[in-house]
Structure 1
Amino acid sequence: MSKMGKRRKVKSGRMNTMVAALDLSDTEGVTTVLSPYGDVTDSFTIRLDDQGFAQFAARVPKDARVAFEATGMAYPVHRALASYGYDVTVVHPKELAWIVKSKKKNDRADSLKIAKLHMSGMLPESHLLDSEEQVKRDLLVQRVKMGNEIGRLKNSIISYLKREGVYHKLPPSTDNFSEKRRKAIAALKFNDDRDLVLRTMTDRLDFLERQCVPLEVRIKQYAVKDDDVRLLMTIGGVDYYLASLLSSYIGDVNRFPSDDHLASYFGMVPSNRDSGSVTRRGRMAKEGPATARWALSIMVDTVIRQNKPIREYYQSVRARTGSGKMAHVSTGRKLLRMLHHMLKTRQHWKWENPKLSEKKIARLGGGDTD
């Protein structure tokens, strides 16, 4: 797999091959073919289906290097053209934008620009998952979405009970949806249509929670065989789910030459604005996958509670800056440096509790979803 945002290094021998570039829409790909000397030898449009890919293969030599921008169609187009034997490069869209941006959108002109950049070896590549990793990622993302939906629904139920003046009747508990509170909510009776409203919400909650179970079972089955996940689980407070999320987005750590590159991928770097000799640093860039940043944020909160040295670091940054948000970001950067080191060196968490790690791995192997 290629490195996010890195320019593709083209061997001198490959510079003598033809180049084909596509500008993709949801249904079509505008194609430009260049000779080894940079001359346009062909230009045509294909539909993004089996017939269109066969047309592409009939008109473009198999030794041509192919490139296109990462869009929603990138995966199926990559799979189709790779199956014909093409050397395919998928281009990182944000890194490419400043190079090819123009005032007017022109698919044919964009296709030509990508082709010329590919010929010169200047294209910033995007990292694509293989089919198995894509399935793992999809399972994890679905579980994240389900968790968010469950959280919103739980808040709605509690707000409804408070509005109707019955929340105080629930038994005391630190968990709004503990077993005894769930039984109490199920036993509530208004003797009017409010019973239907509440039952609709609680039934939907039960349905969503049941849907989570097979997702969690499958995620565990993948996690128990994943050395990176097991390594990240040596961190106090990090379970199989959080470790799987982080591992999925990091992937092969060797694609990040340094921890700064990893932090940049997570969007945990300040944005820069350069003007002449003046460089201004702004807020966190927040580029990269939002789900990865969410997982890192959860990890920061968890590790702060579990680990005294990390908690003291967070508190010192907060005292120095007067900002809990800045302290949270700084702690996230620190943890990313540690994750990068762990995955590179295969070393366990510096403050690992071996007995706790053994218990987590044992529960993982047992298929317990609690």
Structure 2
Amino acid sequence: MRIIALDVHRSFAQMAILEKGKIRDAGRIDLEHGRLLQFATKLKPDDEIVIEATGNTSAIVRLLSPFVGRVVIANPILVRAIAWAKVKTDKIDAAVLAKLHASGFLPEVWMPDEETETRRRVVAERTQLVCQMTRLKNRIHSVLHANLIPPYKGTLFSKRGRAWLEAQPLAEDQRRVVLRHAGELDRLGGELAQVDKSLAKTALQEPRVKRLMTITGVDVTVALSIVAAVGDIERSHRRKSSSATSDSTRGSGSPVTSRPTMAASPNKAEPTRDRCWSRRRGSFPVCLVRCAPSSCASVALGRPT
């Protein structure tokens, strides 16, 4: 089995191959569809590809996955040997990825399927449309405010509000800006309606969205955003079951390490290695409990009675 690590950049990737305990530089490969497909045909079915998560990772993974045994995606933030390295070159980074994966210390990330990625793109597109429309509305309001025009009492961006807006005493250049922004709002509103229609069709076919919509305040857009962000929620259960299976299959000669228990302090009921600070910030008493290094920190908020 070979471990092929790719240090991915915008237009190329630096390769390092770890085979039979020896690592060697394999040069660069251009990240074009034809070149990458030609490289994929030279791979073996038992090879493993290691790359870091970046902008074009999903396209590379989908192209190489049918030709190799496994494609591993590393978390670039948690790979401290690369992120915190004083000497950084493409060859060194690719070699470090291969060695970390071979030793089992590579922090991996989950890659969503195509359906989840499509949902994320559509939700992101809707968010961008809403942000653009909000920016245009704020610009129109700023023009009215700069000319000492009081706010419209109704809905400014309705038909009546549009007629009121056109009748305001504005300079010719400012009137042109306001009308251009209003026309752009109409165009973006039509696109937003199409995106919402597409999201509504998707929601009718997704039982998880219907289940989330039973919660008060969760509409179609919010439910689809949650489903798109979380993705396959069953993967956490599969990971736990696989780890439990591996623990149960250990032999009697391999000891299973457990977390150290904390001895109670003779003066306090808290663990000796734990510390607690309680202070009042505003109307909420905040208690910060710093646990042992093997545990996670917890923050408790209590509303005063």
Distance 2:113 2:145 in 1: 48
Which residue does the alignment assign to 2:11?
Answer: 27
Q: Which amino acid aligns with 1:24?
A: V
2:162 aligned with 1:162: no
Q: Tell me the alpha carbon deviations over residues 241-269 of structure 1, each in whole angstroms, 9 at most, x when there is no partner.
A: 01111111011223446xxxxxxxxxxxx
Q: Kindly indicate whether structure 1 or structure 2 has the higher relative contact order, using CA contacts under 8 Å at least 6 residues apart.
A: 1
Q: Which amino acid aligns with 1:150?
A: M
Structure label with greater radius of gyration: 2
Which residue does the alignment assign to 2:104?
Answer: 121
Instruction: Give the total of aligned pairs.
Output: 250
Distance 2:148 2:83 in 1: 59
2:56 aligned with 1:111: no
| Unaligned stretches of 5+ residues in structure 1 | 1-16, 258-276, 282-316, 323-332, 335-370
Q: Which amino acid aligns with 2:62?
A: R
Distance 1:125 1:112 in 2: 17
Q: How does 1:274-293 map to 2 (within 5 A)?
A: none
Q: How does 1:63-142 map to 2 (within 5 A)?
A: 63-97=46-80, 101-142=84-125
Q: Post-superposition shift, 1:85?
A: 3.8
* 1:147 alignment partner, one of 121, 130, 139: 130
- TM-score for the superposition, normalised by structure 2: 0.73
Q: More helix by proportion, 1 or 2?
A: 1
Q: Against the structure 1 CA distance between its residues 55 and 321, is the aligned structure 2 distance closer, same or farther, given a 3 Å change threshold?
A: same
- TM-score for the superposition, normalised by structure 1: 0.61
Distance 1:226 1:318 in 2: 43
Q: Which amino acid aligns with 2:11?
A: T
Equivalent pair of 1:23/1:107 in contact (CA under 8 Å): yes
Q: More strand by proportion, 1 or 2?
A: 2
Aligned to 2:284, what secondary structure does the other structure show? Answer: helix
Q: Against the structure 1 CA distance between its residues 57 and 204, is the aligned structure 2 distance closer, same or farther, given a 3 Å change threshold?
A: closer
Q: Which amino acid aligns with 1:241?
A: T
Task: Give the CA RMSD over aligned residues.
Answer: 2.9
Q: Post-superposition shift, 1:83?
A: 3.2
* 1:238 alignment partner, one of 201, 218, 231: 218
Q: Against the structure 1 CA distance between its residues 132 and 115, is the aligned structure 2 distance closer, same or farther, given a 3 Å change threshold?
A: same
Which residue does the alignment assign to 1:192?
Answer: 172
| Unaligned stretches of 5+ residues in structure 2 | 238-272, 287-299
| Identity across the alignment (%) | 27
Distance 1:222 1:76 in 2: 24
Which residue does the alignment assign to 2:199?
Answer: 219
Which residue does the alignment assign to 2:242?
Answer: none
Which residue does the alignment assign to 1:6?
Answer: none
